[in-house]
Amino acid sequence: MQQLSLFGDDVNLNIAPRPYHKELQDLYDYAKEQSYRWWNRKFDIQIVLTSADWRRQNGCYIHYTDNSRPPFIKMSAVKNARRSKEEVYKTLLHELVHWHMHTSGLPCKDTDEDFVRECIRVGAPISGTKIAREALRKTMNI
């Protein structure tokens, strides 16, 4: 069974609080659907929910340059609870673009033109940072 991060500890879903279990399953279902829809590939990494109440981000794709651990997507269950399901799914789609680009050997940073173009193609939001917004303007020739 997939793992859930509560207070920094990984907990088996069999003993995790039920609301987290449902939310996590919904995220996996969406990730699998979008992965096949846009890239015709299996979604094969972990999604981790954390109880951290992030201020500046809604989700993140984490990969290790030395490949010491497999990549994963991390999202805040606390922050997601205050957002609509559509907003949460849009964030997850953005993180899926990072995953797809990275694991395909393509530029995967928010500031990479190829990444920005892929986000636009699949309808994923662009990060709200100044440098990501500048990359969007540059990519769109605005």
Q: Is 11 helix (H, G, I), strand (E, B) or coil?
A: strand
pTM of the model: 0.83
Predicted local distance difference test score (pLDDT) of residue 21 = 63
25's CB contacts (< 8 A; 6+ apart) are none
Give the pLDDT confidence of 60-119 residue by residue, as tens digits. Answer: 999 988 878 899 999 988 888 888 999 999 999 999 999 999 999 999 999 999 999 999
Which residues sit opposite 4 in a β-bridge? Answer: 11
4: left (phi > 0), else alpha (psi -120 to 50), else beta?
beta
Cα–Cα dist 126/120, whole Å: 8
Predicted local distance difference test score (pLDDT) of residue 19 = 52
Q: Is 51 helix (H, G, I), strand (E, B) or coil?
A: coil
3-140 to CATH, choices 3.30.2010, 1.10.150, 1.20.1300, 3.20.20: 3.30.2010
Domain ranges of the chain: 3-140
Confidence of residue 13 (pLDDT cuts 50, 70, 90): very low
HEC readout, 82-138: CCCHHHHHHHHHHHHHHHHHHHCCCCCCCCCHHHHHHHHHHCCCCCCCHHHHHHHHH
